[in-house]
Amino acid sequence: MRKTRFGAYAYVFPLLAMVLAIVLTVVPALAPDTTVAGTTNLLEIVGGTLAMVFLCGSSFSAVAHADVAAARLGQPYGTLVLTLSVTLIEVSVIASMMLHGTGNPTLVRESVFSVIMIVSTGIIGLCLLLGSLKHREQVIQQQGVAGFLSVMIGLGVMLLILPTETRDGASGQFTPFQLGFMAFIAVALYAAFLYMQTVRYTEHFVGQEGAHHEDQRPSLGRFLRSVVMLLVSLAGVISLSGHVAGSFEDFLSLFPLADPDAVTGALVATLLLMPEGISAVRAASRNQLQHSLNIALGSALASIALTIPAMAAISMMLGLPMVLGLDPEDRTMMLLTFVIAIVSFGTGRTNALNGIVHLILFCVYVMLTIVP
C-alpha cells in the first residue's frame, strides 16, 4: 500500500520563502543609495540565487501538499488541484517576467509552447518508456486521453497558430477584440472539459488501478493542514517570482543566444514542470499510466487554456503587446507532436517504442531551441 509522504522541507521552504521575500523587498527600500555599487551587485546576485532556490523549494512543497489533497479527494479531482496549483505558479512567474524591465511580448507564447513540447514529448516520453520497460505494455482510457488531446489541439491551433493567419496577423498578434474573444473561448472550452472530466464522464479519466487505492486517503486533519500549507507555498512562489524574474533575464543576457526568448520560455517551463514531471514519471513506473497522463496532459491543457487568457487580461489592462503566433519551425514541431500523440494513444495500449519516438521529438525540440 503506497502512502503519500514528504519531509520537513514541505513545511520549511514556504515559510522561509515568505521571510526571504520580505527581506528582499524591505532591505533595498531602507537603504537604496547607501551601498557601494559592487556590493549592490553582489547582494543582487546572492538575493536572486536564494530566491530561485526557495522558489523551487516552494514549488515542490506546493506539489507535495497538493498530492495529499489529491489523495483525499480522489481522482480526477485530486489531479485537478495539482494542475491548477502549478498553473497559478506559472501565471505569477510569467507575469513577473513580462513586467520586468521593458517587457517581453513573446514570453507567453514561448512559455506555453515550451510547456506543450516538454510535456507531450519529454515527460510523456519518459512515462511511456520507463513504464513499458518495467511493465512491458500499459493500458490507458482512450476516451479520457482523446478528450485531453482534442481540447489541446483545438486550443493550440486557435491560440498559437491562428494569430499569424488572420487578416491583421502579420505580427503574430490578435487585435484587442480578437484576443478578448479567444480568451473567453479558451476558458469556456476548458470549463466544458472540466465538467466532462469531473461530472459527466469521470470514469473515462480513472485508470483500472484507481479502484485499488480507495482506502489510502489521508485523515481529515492532515488534509486540512496540507490545504493551508498549499496556500502558503503558492504565496511564497508568487512573492518571490518578481525577484527571480529580474535575476533570470539578467543572467541569460550574458550569453550570446540566437533566440533568448525561446530559451527563457523553455527554462521557465522546465522549472515549473519539474515537480509535476516527477509525479507523472513515478505514477507511470507504478503502472498507473492513466494517472500519469492525467497529471502531464492536464498541466499542458491548463497552461494553454488558463495561462494565455490570464496573461491576455493583464496585457489588455496594462496596454502591453503580446505576440502569440508561433514561428514556422515551432508550428511544424507542435503539429507533428500532436499527430504522434494521436498515434501513440490510438490503440489504448502503449509500449517502449512509443516512448522512444516522443523522446526523439524532445531532442529535436531542444536542438531547435538552442540552434533555431
227, 67 contact by CB (below 8 A): no
Grid coordinates in use for 170?
A: 502579420
CA 283, 54, 15, 230 dihedral sign is negative
Radius of gyration of the chain from its Cα atoms, rounded to whole angstroms: 21
Residue type, 15: L
CA 294, 76, 93, 50 dihedral sign is negative
In the chain, domain spans:
9-370
d(CA 95, CA 238): 10
155, 307 contact by CB (below 8 A): no
What's the pLDDT tens digit per position in 264-320?
Answer: 788 878 877 877 788 788 889 888 898 889 888 988 898 899 889 988 998 888 888
The DSSP-derived string for 253-288 is TTS--S-HHHHHHHHHHHHHHHHHHHHHHHHHHTT-
Give me the pLDDT at residue 208, please: 58
Give me the pLDDT at residue 212, please: 44
For residue 350, the surrounding DSSP H or E stretch is strand 349-350
The torsion of the CA quartet 66, 70, 76, 79, rounded to 10 degrees, works out to 20
Give me the pLDDT at residue 104, please: 76
d(CA 207, CA 186): 27
For residue 321, the surrounding DSSP H or E stretch is none
Q: What is the mean pLDDT of each run of 10 residues along the chain (372 residues)?
A: 54 82 70 50 68 79 77 71 75 74 77 93 94 89 91 94 79 88 94 88 72 61 83 78 68 75 81 79 88 88 90 87 90 95 92 95 93 84
Those residues whose C-beta lies under 8 Å from the C-beta of residue 19, and which sit 6 or more positions away, are none
- Counting Cα atoms < 13 Å in the Cβ hemisphere of 130 gives 18
Give me the pLDDT at residue 2, please: 41
d(CA 320, CA 312): 9
Give me the pLDDT at residue 355, please: 94
For 9-370, CATH gives 1.20.1420.30
138, 350 contact by CB (below 8 A): yes
What residue has cell string 539578467?
Answer: 250
Strand partners for 350: 138
313, 176 contact by CB (below 8 A): no
Give me the pLDDT at residue 1, please: 36
Give me the pLDDT at residue 249, please: 67
Give me the pLDDT at residue 169, please: 60
Other Cβ atoms less than 10 A from the Cβ of 187: the count is: 15
For residue 139, the surrounding DSSP H or E stretch is strand 138-139
Strand partners for 139: 349
Residue type, 3: K
Between the CA of residue 329 and those of 154, 195, 365, 372, what are the distances in Å?
Answer: 19, 35, 10, 8
- Indicate the DSSP class of residue 164: G
What's the pLDDT tens digit per position in 25-52?
Answer: 776 655 555 454 445 556 666 777 788 7
